[in-house]
């Protein structure tokens, strides 16, 4: 009969803030199977958790250093956790020219001091954990103790196999054991604490009787900024004559492993190394290479792994096992200083985009999605990265003749017909607006720029291999209501003095005057002439990626890019309708979006406004977000409360205000609305026909495939 498998216990360094949340998450994730063998260690008195099963570290209060700074530490930690950098982003006071630099320095100093305080505290805490561990070692409660941070994930069977190979009779102190000074045969060593430190009971029985000799060490290290609990253990053990074991000193039967491979610290080895070292590489200069290598990365399969643990996992979101987050498409970047080491970052590309249409409730939708605990906000709701819709001269990528298109060097196939350098630069600038989501976080990000629906470059991006995973949300509002809402928005902007706002509404501040003047001007224009006069519509139809065959418009649409079309004829000039109107001609823009099939969730504002909870259930399922109780009473960006981003708390407080705002929504006169209806009815009919005939495979969450009843009645559709 073989020897019994060594008994393993897990000692988790649990945060003092949000203890409940973290412990709950850990208990329900990968630690589930080993729950009884896990000790969650918390400093007594610092956490408000009522969880009786936590292991309180009582003496911590009495320690001189922590007691003196405890209150302050707690407050600072709390501030650091609750401080939302977005608050600064969206409410910027006017600043002196050097203010950003000084603020940055202040922030850095604060962070340094916070790090010092925190590490100081950690050293006391880890020492208390050692005392608790020693008590259990004396009671023979385990053969091995594995001490780790709460944001470390452990493959428990691999760890069990590892300690099985080591046996229960040796003195073991290992993990990511490294020499701390090179070139000296007896230089210091230490185990990096993040991915975990393994102690055998035999070792603890040797060390524990003398542990108290190390107690003054904690105070001696008080002033050090970056020395955490792991370094304190290393120094204490060194003092007691015990050093961590390098791989060659472990009895692993000559198996060729590296401790760095078993106990991992962070990027780029987010997941175990990919075959052939395929990693997406990017930096400002290397963006092009990123695009080149992406395909291989996306298709790479993960090999079997012996990894025991890796550091930095958000425990609340970590799924079980070693699965990768299927929603995350990894984008890895490195930066390298001239002589310094390489730094790796891995991030998830945006997972969703709300692409339109403007004034359909996109701000509410975006903010509701952002309420989800797994969603991370971009710098702004609308990044407008791919939407120079109204300024064709600034929109190079939308035009086939543009220099960035390089048909001779289609290195990436049809997915990236623009030069890789340009694509890389565009992508770099775009991604800088998103939070860096670590693929191990099991979180997602995205943005909402309603004007994307009119942008061929946005389509281009979304049809590219790089963004082929991105989920697209499109809200459609009744075109006449949309136009009216857009009018009010642009009128308010115009009255506030915003440049170019008048272009949208022909300079009218009154909706009735606007529609009356417009209908006089376009009297006698056919629907076709109106569409022809719309430059953005023609550009959209003619651009690559909109479904247009090379050199021509899509077959399902009227030919809008006839030779010489750039020269507006007199009729075109007369029949010109401002953006408030043409943006409601959905039939001209929707077909290529519908062709994205299951990646596109098409919702109608009628359904969204009538049953927002239902909408969010569908959206959450579409984005593979766990069910969540969204607070949909809050309507964003209403007539009385404009703004793309409203903090959650403020939003809650404003729920009543928002409800009032919806009631007080101003109404257009029936006559003015009638004029708008006349300008959109042909488009609605064509769009209705497109929906009926399109070979469109919507996702399973799609509520309807046809226009809402209210539209049918209003536009007298059969």
Ligand X SMILES: Nc1ncnc2c1ncn2[C@@H]1O[C@H](COP(=O)(O)OS(=O)(=O)O)[C@@H](OP(=O)(O)O)[C@H]1O
State the nearest-atom distance from the C-beta of 378 to ligand X, in Å: 14
Cα–Cα distance between 421 and 409 in angstroms, integer? Answer: 12
State the nearest-atom distance from the C-beta of 623 to ligand X, in Å: 18
State the nearest-atom distance from the C-beta of 639 to ligand X, in Å: 4
Asked if residue 57 binds ligand X (CB under 6 A), the reply is no
State the nearest-atom distance from the C-beta of 259 to ligand X, in Å: 52
Asked if residue 358 binds ligand X (CB under 6 A), the reply is yes
Residue from 90, 345, 405, 609 touching ligand X (CB under 6 A): that is 609
Cβ nearer to ligand X, comparing 128 with 486 = 486
DSSP string, 68-110: HHHHHHHHHHHHHHH--HHHHHHSPPP--TTHHHHHHHHHHHH
Torsion of CA 494, 496, 497, 502, to 10 degrees: 0
Angle at CA of residue 380, ends 379 and 383, nearest 5°: 100
Q: Are 284 and 428 in contact (CB under 8 A)?
A: yes
Residues 417-476 that bind ligand X (CB under 6 A): 450
Asked if residue 345 binds ligand X (CB under 6 A), the reply is no
Asked if residue 47 binds ligand X (CB under 6 A), the reply is no
Asked if residue 174 binds ligand X (CB under 6 A), the reply is no
Residue whose C-beta lies closest to ligand X:
363
Cβ nearer to ligand X, comparing 294 with 508 = 508
Cβ nearer to ligand X, comparing 120 with 362 = 362
Residues 616-635 that bind ligand X (CB under 6 A): 635
Cβ nearer to ligand X, comparing 213 with 662 = 662
Cα–Cα distance between 28 and 40 in angstroms, integer? Answer: 14
Q: At what angle do helices 612-622 and 362-370 cross, to 10 degrees?
A: 60
Respond yes or no: is residue 641 known to be catalytic: no
Residues 648-667 that bind ligand X (CB under 6 A): 662, 665
State the nearest-atom distance from the C-beta of 366 to ligand X, in Å: 8
Contacting range for ligand X; rule: CB under 6 A; set: 131-139, 198-206, 300-308, 355-363: 355-363
Asked if residue 86 binds ligand X (CB under 6 A), the reply is no
- DSSP label at residue 303: P
Asked if residue 612 binds ligand X (CB under 6 A), the reply is yes
Contacting range for ligand X; rule: CB under 6 A; set: 182-190, 203-211, 484-492, 705-713: 484-492
- DSSP label at residue 327: T
* Both tokens assigned to 612: 């927002």
Contacting range for ligand X; rule: CB under 6 A; set: 81-89, 356-364, 491-499, 552-560: 356-364
* Both tokens assigned to 79: 């501030």
Catalytic residue among 235, 359, 420, 490: 359
Asked if residue 361 binds ligand X (CB under 6 A), the reply is yes
539 is in an annotated binding site: no
State the nearest-atom distance from the C-beta of 381 to ligand X, in Å: 7
Nearest CA to 48 among 18, 3, 73, 79? 18
Residue from 19, 364, 395, 464 touching ligand X (CB under 6 A): that is 364
Tokens 């524990």 belong to 208
Cβ nearer to ligand X, comparing 151 with 606 = 606
485 is in an annotated binding site: yes
Q: How many CB atoms lie within 10 A of CB 177?
A: 23
Cβ nearer to ligand X, comparing 9 with 362 = 362
State the nearest-atom distance from the C-beta of 361 to ligand X, in Å: 4
Please report, for residues 7, 140, 385, 513, the alpha-carbon distance to residue 33 in angstroms, rounded to integers and kept in the order given. 14, 22, 46, 70
Cβ nearer to ligand X, comparing 445 with 638 = 638
Cα–Cα distance between 346 and 329 in angstroms, integer? Answer: 10
Asked if residue 547 binds ligand X (CB under 6 A), the reply is no
| Contacts by residues 657-666 (CB-CB < 8 Å, ≥ 24 positions apart) | 658/633, 658/634, 659/633, 659/635, 661/635, 662/635, 662/638, 664/639, 664/640, 665/638, 665/639, 666/488, 666/639
Residue from 55, 218, 471, 488 touching ligand X (CB under 6 A): that is 488
Asked if residue 363 binds ligand X (CB under 6 A), the reply is yes
| Exposure letters 30-48 (e unless 16+ CB within 10 A, then b) | bbeebeebbbbbbbeebbe
* Both tokens assigned to 53: 């099963």
Cβ nearer to ligand X, comparing 301 with 667 = 667
Q: Are 33 and 160 in contact (CB under 8 A)?
A: no
Active site residues: 359
Which stretches of the chain bind ligand X, using CB under 6 A? 358-364, 450, 485, 488-489, 609, 612, 635-639, 662, 665
């Amino acid at each position: 009969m073989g020897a019994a498998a060594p008994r393993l216990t897990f000692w988790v360094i649990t945060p003092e803030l949000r203890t409940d949340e973290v412990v709950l998450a850990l208990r329900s994730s990968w630690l589930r199977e080993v729950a009884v063998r896990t000790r969650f260690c918390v400093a007594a008195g610092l956490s408000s958790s009522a969880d009786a099963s936590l292991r309180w570290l009582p003496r911590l209060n009495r320690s001189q250093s922590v007691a003196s700074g405890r209150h302050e530490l707690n407050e600072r930690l709390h501030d650091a956790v609750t401080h939302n950098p977005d608050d600064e982003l969206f409410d910027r006071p006017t600043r002196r020219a050097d203010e950003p630099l000084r603020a940055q320095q202040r922030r850095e100093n604060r962070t340094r001091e916070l790090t010092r305080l925190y590490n100081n505290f950690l050293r006391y805490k880890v020492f208390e954990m050692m005392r608790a561990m020693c008590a259990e070692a004396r009671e023979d409660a385990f053969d091995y103790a594995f001490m780790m941070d709460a944001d470390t994930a452990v493959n428990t069977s691999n760890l069990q196999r590892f300690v099985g190979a080591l046996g229960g009779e040796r003195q073991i102190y290992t993990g990511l054991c490294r020499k701390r000074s090179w070139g000296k045969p007896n230089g210091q060593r230490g185990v990096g604490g993040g991915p975990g430190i393994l102690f055998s009971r035999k070792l603890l029985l040797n060390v524990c009787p003398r542990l108290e000799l190390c107690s003054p060490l904690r105070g001696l290290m008080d002033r050090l900024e970056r020395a955490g609990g792991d370094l304190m253990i290393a120094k204490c053990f060194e003092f007691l004559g015990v050093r961590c074991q390098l791989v060659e000193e472990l009895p692993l039967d000559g198996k060729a492993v590296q401790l760095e491979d078993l106990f991992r610290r962070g990027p780029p080895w987010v997941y175990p190394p990919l075959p052939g070292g395929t990693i997406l590489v990017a930096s400002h200069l290397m963006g092009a290479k990123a695009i080149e290598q992406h395909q291989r990365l996306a298709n790479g399969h993960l090999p079997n792994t012996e990894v025991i643990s890796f550091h930095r996992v958000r425990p609340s979101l970590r799924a079980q096992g070693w699965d990768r987050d299927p929603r995350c498409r990894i984008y890895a970047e490195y930066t390298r200083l001239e002589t310094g080491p390489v730094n790796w970052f891995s991030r998830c590309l945006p997972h969703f985009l709300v692409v339109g249409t403007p004034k359909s409730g996109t701000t509410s939708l975006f903010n509701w999605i952002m309420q989800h605990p797994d969603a991370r906000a971009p710098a702004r709701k609308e990044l407008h990265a791919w939407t120079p819709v109204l300024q064709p001269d600034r929109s190079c990528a939308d035009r086939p003749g543009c220099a960035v298109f390089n048909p001779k060097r289609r290195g990436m196939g049809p997915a990236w017909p623009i030069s890789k350098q340009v694509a890389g630069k565009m992508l770099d600038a775009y991604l800088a607006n998103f939070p860096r989501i670590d693929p191990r976080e099991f979180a997602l990000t995205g943005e909402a720029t309603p004007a994307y629906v009119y942008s061929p470059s946005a389509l281009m991006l979304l049809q590219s291999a790089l963004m082929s995973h991105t989920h697209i949300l499109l809200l459609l509002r009744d075109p006449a209501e949309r136009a009216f809402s857009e009018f009010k928005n642009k009128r308010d902007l115009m009255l506030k003095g915003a440049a170019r706002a008048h272009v949208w509404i022909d300079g009218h501040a009154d909706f009735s005057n606007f529609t009356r003047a417009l209908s006089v001007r376009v009297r006698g224009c056919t629907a076709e002439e109106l569409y022809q006069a719309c430059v953005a519509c023609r550009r959209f139809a003619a651009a690559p990626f909109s479904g247009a065959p090379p050199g021509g418009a899509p077959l399902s649409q009227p030919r809008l890019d006839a030779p010489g079309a750039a020269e507006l004829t007199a009729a075109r000039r007369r029949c010109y309708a401002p953006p408030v109107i043409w943006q409601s001609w959905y039939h001209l823009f929707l077909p290529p979006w519908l062709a994205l099939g299951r990646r596109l969730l098409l919702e109608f504002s009628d359904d969204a406004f009538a049953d927002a909870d239902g909408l969010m259930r569908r959206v959450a399922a579409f984005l593979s977000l766990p069910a969540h109780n969204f607070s949909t009473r809050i309507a964003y960006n209403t007539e009385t409360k404009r703004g793309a981003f409203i903090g959650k708390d403020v939003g809650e407080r404003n729920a009543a205000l928002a409800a009032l705002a919806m009631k007080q929504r101003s109404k257009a006169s029936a006559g003015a609305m009638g004029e708008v209806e006349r300008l959109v009815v042909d488009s609605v009919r064509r769009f209705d026909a497109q929906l009926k005939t399109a070979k469109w495979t919507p996702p399973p969450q799609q509520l309807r495939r046809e226009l809402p009843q209210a539209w049918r009645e209003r536009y007298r559709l059969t």
